[in-house]
Amino acid sequence: MTVASRIRAWRIGRASPVVGGPSLPLMGCRVRAGFPSPADDHLDVEIDLHAYVVRRPASTYFVRAEGDSMLGDGIHDGDLLVVDRSLEPRPGRVIIIAVDGEPTVKRLERLAGRTCLVASNPRFPAIPLEGRECEVWGVVTHVLHALPGAVP
């Protein structure tokens, strides 16, 4: 199995909102990762998760990640990525890009004056883009993943 085949991303659908879709409750406070406060157990507003993660519906789609090359950026195998095609792919941004026809998710960087794709897992080498056929499919804006044991 090649490195490219282990770091794919697959497009799975457009980000079109569900008309009349359910809004979900949003707590009126932030949740501490330490000791919980019993005074903070009230709801403030409702939130439409789609409206929260999709700023430009006409240019946004969802894709499922495959592999472990982006673990350092919190992207795990099977995660759902929100991708906006209208954003400029600048150095430092995580992008979806087809390199020589093979889609992948990586961070765009300039290294020693060369444009490269960089994994956030040190086991994967940088991929120089010079001389390769490349097509940017968009900039990753959000990552959604379930915690272990949370989904049956």
State the catalytic residues: 69, 106
What one-character-per-residue DSSP string does the chain give? Answer: --TGGGS-EEEEEE----TTPPPEEEESSPPPSSSPPGGG--EEEEE-HHHHH-S-GGGEEEEEE-SSTTGGGT--TT-EEEEETTS---TT-EEEEEETTEEEEEEEEEETTEEEEE-SSTTS--EE-TTS-EEEEEEEEEEE-PPTTT--
